[in-house]
């Protein structure tokens, strides 16, 4: 909104000193001197002249209205409102006074009063261009966006080359998500006003909203070419670079904005996002905290601070951060959902569910909260409510799952399958496919011809699965079918409860030819064999919690056993340890697919694994399997039990409240020592 910069020249009457009484003449002379100084931007000098004039003649309209304009120019808005109100009381028909008073009220964020003032000015002078423009800006502040557009259009009708009105009109059109119209308005502003940095910056934001990211970046760069110190453009440029996943460059842009404007909370906040993406968690936390220090009610910064604290495993602090976000904005669904997740990590499931419900009440289509609620319900064993909500996985963008789009209808247990062909398809990880392929037998029992589509690494393993008529590798042509169902929707289709989980005994078999191959590789068995898996895929979202290092595991292993690594891939740090020890044998490069791993598992006496696909594989083979779980486990392992209704042969070892592996490994070592006696060995026997 423009402030009065070109001070209007009042028609001060010629020869007034001859016609007026002496005090009036003295006041008039002082006003003229003040106006001359004012027009030369000598504000202190002008202010003094106006004040002297008012001491002589307190109701001097010219001194009041010019002083009011000067006070706005020098950001003394409260005083400006008082002075201009006096001027209006003397001469309510002078439109600029109403406009100036509106400007001062708007700067004080007294928007309703500002709007009244602009409208009073327009009632006096309906063709006041700036009053229409300023009214539009105030309506914009009041979120009365459609009315704001009308005001800007009126200003433009009166002044077709009014670049600022086009720019603000574009901004409101953007807010209304009329992006194509906003582009036209910004481009018109740029056409009318060369070097209009603000319009280029706004154009960049709208191009970003349209996912025209390279053009958006170029537009922000153009704004900065005209004004290299334009902090808003630096910030927006950083945001666009973030969307382009150019996080290092984004940080450079945010740092420039912060250097120019150290009290700019949004730049700190956005820098925190980029630092978090780069896993510079401590720096991200500090950046969010800078933003909050500058803007204590910055709800998004409180929320994102909570996310970083969660990643740092500082759960109590994360919970406090989400509570702060909720205190600032009680209708912020993200904070409720994220707080629910922290409660879930703390195994405070009742509070977690209540928090998810609050998020869903605020945003009924909030897929992430619905999904989080599904996981909490399944974790508590409430499968009846959990399975329907688990279908939200397809709409939860954070999971990055691809919903299968086929012309055939989805089957969820309603339609009869007798004489029909159904496609069952893998959808998530290898472990999920191994766990839920057991349902093929139940589908077949309904009279269906069953096609199972699976990833190549599982094809040999699943070739003998009961209930399968056709096994097809992912991305290969499919035979005709009538229905389809993702594997993890089958529990919903069969209304599975904890008590009715099917196939908890062995349902997969190792290939006999592969068994012979691996027997030869392992050689003569001279002591019990223990298969080991200590870490999973590092890309897994919960890998930090579910995995341990080889060094941690190795330190707890008692003697008397032949230890075999069941890893196909090993982290670099663990590989260095494997290469320089003789306790654990490894065959990573000889495991071609899961049929090899299955044969190797079959030859073990016990498989000890963290929560990975191998844990599911060994359990599905019916091997005695000890699964090592983090404090907050995956939903399928339920809570506070040592067995699993999914697998008869599983024993669960759970972290305690300390959230480390010490208690788990102590228990494993003790149980291995006890178990050794059942094989006729003692723990002091050499492992070499």
Q: How confident is the model at residue 70 (pLDDT cuts 50, 70, 90)?
A: very high
User: How is the chain split among helix, strand and coil, in percent rounded to 5?
Assistant: 60, 5, 35
Q: How confident is the model at residue 21 (pLDDT cuts 50, 70, 90)?
A: low
- 440, exposed or middle or buried, with CB in 10 Å at 0-12, 13-18, 19+? buried
Whether 467 contacts 444, CB under 8 Å: yes
Q: What is the dihedral of CA 452, 458, 464, 467, to 10 degrees?
A: -30
Residue among 229, 321, 228, 216 at smallest CA distance from 272: 321
Q: How confident is the model at residue 130 (pLDDT cuts 50, 70, 90)?
A: very high
**Residue 362 corresponds to which tokens in the numbers above?**
């605020």
Residue 579 pLDDT > 50, yes or no?
A: yes
521-538 average pLDDT score: 92
Q: What pLDDT does residue 537 have? A: 79
Residue among 355, 383, 351 at smallest CA distance from 369: 355
Residue 622 pLDDT > 60, yes or no?
A: yes
Residue 533 pLDDT > 80, yes or no?
A: yes
Residue 4 pLDDT > 80, yes or no?
A: no
Question: Tens of pLDDT along 424-433?
Answer: 999 999 999 9
Whether 437 contacts 502, CB under 8 Å: no
Q: What pLDDT does residue 548 have? A: 93
Determine the Cα–Cα distance for residues 422 and 493; give it in Å rounded to an integer: 13
Determine the Cα–Cα distance for residues 123 and 316; give it in Å rounded to an integer: 59
Q: How confident is the model at residue 680 (pLDDT cuts 50, 70, 90)?
A: low
Phi and psi dihedrals of 663, rounded to 5?
-65, -35
Q: How many CB atoms lie within 10 A of CB 585?
A: 15
3-state secondary structure of 578: helix
Q: What pLDDT does residue 7 have? A: 45
Residue 543 pLDDT > 80, yes or no?
A: no
Q: What is the dihedral of CA 271, 273, 275, 277, to 10 degrees?
A: -150
3-state secondary structure of 467: coil
**Residue 614 corresponds to which tokens in the numbers above?**
């191998």
Determine the Cα–Cα distance for residues 506 and 437; give it in Å rounded to an integer: 12
Question: Tens of pLDDT along 192-214?
Answer: 999 999 999 999 999 999 999 99
Determine the Cα–Cα distance for residues 611 and 634; give it in Å rounded to an integer: 8
Question: Tens of pLDDT along 435-448?
Answer: 999 999 999 999 99
Q: What pLDDT does residue 544 have? A: 81
Question: Tens of pLDDT along 546-570?
Answer: 899 999 999 999 999 999 999 998 8
Whether 98 contacts 130, CB under 8 Å: no
Residue 618 pLDDT > 90, yes or no?
A: yes
Cα 58 to its chain centre, rounded Å, is: 59
Q: What pLDDT does residue 636 have? A: 95
Q: What pLDDT does residue 376 have? A: 97
Beta bridge partners of 485: 424
Beta bridge partners of 454: 473
131-163 residues labelled b (16+ CB within 10 A) or e (exposed)? bbbbbbbbbbbeebbebbbebbebbbebbeebb
Phi and psi dihedrals of 306, rounded to 5?
-60, -40
Longest CA–CA span in the chain (Å) reads 127
Give the full edge-to-edge strand order of the sheet including 584-586: 584-586, 562-565, 529-533, 606-610, 625-629, 650-654
Determine the Cα–Cα distance for residues 302 and 313; give it in Å rounded to an integer: 16
Question: Tens of pLDDT along 265-286?
Answer: 999 999 999 999 999 999 999 9
Residue 603 pLDDT > 90, yes or no?
A: yes
**HSE toward the beta carbon, residue 552, CA cutoff 13 A:** 16
**Residue 160 corresponds to which tokens in the numbers above?**
């077709």
Residue 148 pLDDT > 50, yes or no?
A: yes
Of the listed ranges 254-263, 420-429, 674-683, the least confidently predicted one is 674-683
Of the listed ranges 4-13, 89-98, 382-391, 475-484, the least confidently predicted one is 4-13
Phi and psi dihedrals of 222, rounded to 5?
-65, -40
Whether 115 contacts 139, CB under 8 Å: yes
Q: What pLDDT does residue 334 have? A: 96
Q: What pLDDT does residue 587 have? A: 93
**Residue 424 corresponds to which tokens in the numbers above?**
């069952």
Q: How confident is the model at residue 328 (pLDDT cuts 50, 70, 90)?
A: very high
**Residue 539 corresponds to which tokens in the numbers above?**
């890309």
- At residue 90's C-alpha, the angle toward residues 85 and 94, to 5°, is 80
Q: What pLDDT does residue 681 have? A: 53
Q: What pLDDT does residue 393 have? A: 94
Whether 304 contacts 276, CB under 8 Å: yes
Beta bridge partners of 423: 451, 484
- 262, exposed or middle or buried, with CB in 10 Å at 0-12, 13-18, 19+? exposed
Q: Residues near 51 by Cβ (< 8 Å), separated by ≥ 6? A: 67
Whether 95 contacts 125, CB under 8 Å: yes
Residue 402 pLDDT > 90, yes or no?
A: no
Kindly state the helix (H) or strand (E) to which residue 483 belongs, with its residue range: strand 483-486
343-352 average pLDDT score: 96
Cα 630 to its chain centre, rounded Å, is: 24
Pick 569 or 112 by higher pLDDT.
112
Residue 682 pLDDT > 80, yes or no?
A: no
Residue 314 pLDDT > 80, yes or no?
A: yes
Pick 429 or 16 by higher pLDDT.
429
Q: What pLDDT does residue 597 have? A: 96
Average per-residue pLDDT for the chain: 93
Question: Tens of pLDDT along 359-369?
Answer: 999 999 999 99
112-125 average pLDDT score: 96
């Amino acid at each position: 909104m423009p402030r009065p910069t070109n001070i209007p020249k009042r028609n001060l009457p010629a020869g007034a000193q001859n016609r007026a009484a002496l005090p009036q003449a003295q006041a008039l002379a002082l006003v003229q001197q003040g106006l001359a100084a004012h027009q030369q931007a000598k504000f202190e000098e002008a202010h003094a002249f106006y004040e002297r004039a008012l001491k002589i003649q307190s109701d001097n309209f010219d001194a009041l209205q010019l002083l009011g304009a000067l006070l706005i120019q020098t950001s003394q808005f409260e005083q400006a409102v008082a002075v201009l109100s006096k001027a209006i009381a003397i001469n309510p028909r002078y439109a600029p006074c109403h406009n100036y008073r509106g400007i001062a009220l708007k700067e004080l964020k007294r928007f309703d009063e500002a709007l009244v003032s602009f409208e009073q000015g327009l009632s006096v002078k309906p063709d006041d261009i700036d009053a229409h423009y300023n009214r539009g800006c105030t309506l914009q502040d009041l979120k009365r966006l459609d009315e704001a557009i009308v005001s800007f259009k009126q200003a433009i009708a009166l002044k077709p080359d009014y670049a600022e009105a086009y720019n603000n009109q574009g901004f409101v059109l953007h807010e209304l998500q009329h992006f194509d119209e906003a582009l036209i308005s910004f481009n018109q502003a740029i056409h009318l006003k060369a070097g209009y940095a603000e319009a280029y910056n706004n154009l960049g934001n709208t191009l970003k909203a349209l996912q025209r990211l390279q053009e958006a970046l170029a537009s922000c760069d153009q704004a900065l070419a005209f004004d290299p110190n334009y902090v808003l453009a630096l910030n927006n440029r950083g945001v666009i670079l973030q969307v382009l996943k150019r996080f290092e460059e984004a940080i450079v842009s945010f740092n420039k904005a912060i250097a120019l404007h150290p009290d700019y909370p949004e730049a700190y906040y956005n820098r925190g996002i980029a630092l978090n993406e780069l896993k510079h968690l401590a720096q991200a936390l500090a950046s969010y905290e800078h933003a909050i220090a500058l803007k204590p009610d910055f709800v998004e910064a409180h929320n994102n601070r909570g996310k970083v604290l969660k990643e740092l495993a500082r759960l109590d602090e994360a919970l406090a951060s989400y509570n702060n976000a909720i205190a600032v904005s009680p209708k912020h669904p993200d904070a409720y959902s994220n707080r629910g997740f922290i409660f879930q990590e703390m195994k405070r499931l009742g509070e977690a569910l209540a928090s998810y419900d609050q998020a869903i009440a605020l945003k009924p289509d909030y897929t992430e909260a619905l999904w989080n609620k599904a996981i909490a319900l399944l974790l508590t064993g409430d499968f009846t409510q959990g399975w329907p909500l688990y279908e939200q996985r397809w709409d939860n963008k954070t999971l990055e799952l691809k919903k299968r789009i086929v012309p055939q209808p989805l089957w969820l247990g309603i339609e009869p399958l007798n004489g029909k062909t159904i496609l069952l398809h893998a959808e998530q990880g290898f472990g999920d496919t191994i766990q839920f392929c057991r349902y093929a037998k139940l589908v077949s029992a309904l009279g269906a011809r069953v096609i199972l589509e699976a990833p190549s690494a599982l094809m040999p393993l699943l070739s003998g699965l009961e209930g399968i008529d056709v096994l097809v590798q992912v991305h290969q042509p499919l035979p005709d079918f009538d229905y389809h169902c993702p594997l993890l929707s089958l529990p919903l289709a069969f209304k599975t409860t904890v008590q009715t989980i099917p196939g908890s005994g062995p349902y997969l078999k190792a290939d006999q030819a592969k068994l012979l191959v691996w027997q030869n590789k392992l050689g003569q068995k001279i002591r019990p064999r223990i298969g080991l898996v200590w870490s999973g895929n590092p890309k897994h979202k919960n890998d930090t919690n579910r995995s341990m290092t080889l060094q941690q595991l190795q330190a707890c292993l008692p003697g008397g056993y032949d230890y075999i690594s069941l890893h196909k891939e090993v982290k670099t740090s663990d590989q260095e340890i494997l290469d320089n020890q003789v306790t654990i044998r490894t065959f990573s490069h000889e495991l071609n697919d899961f049929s090899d791993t299955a044969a190797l598992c079959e030859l073990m006496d016990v498989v000890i694994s963290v929560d990975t696909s191998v844990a599911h594989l060994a359990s599905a083979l019916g091997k005695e399997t000890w699964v090592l779980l983090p404090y907050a486990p995956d939903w399928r392992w339920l809570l506070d039990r040592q067995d699993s209704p999914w697998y008869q042969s599983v024993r669960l070892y759970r972290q305690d409240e300390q959230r480390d592996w010490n208690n788990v490994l102590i228990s494993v070592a003790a149980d291995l020592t006890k178990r050794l006696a059942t094989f006729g060995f003692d723990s002091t026997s050499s492992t070499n």
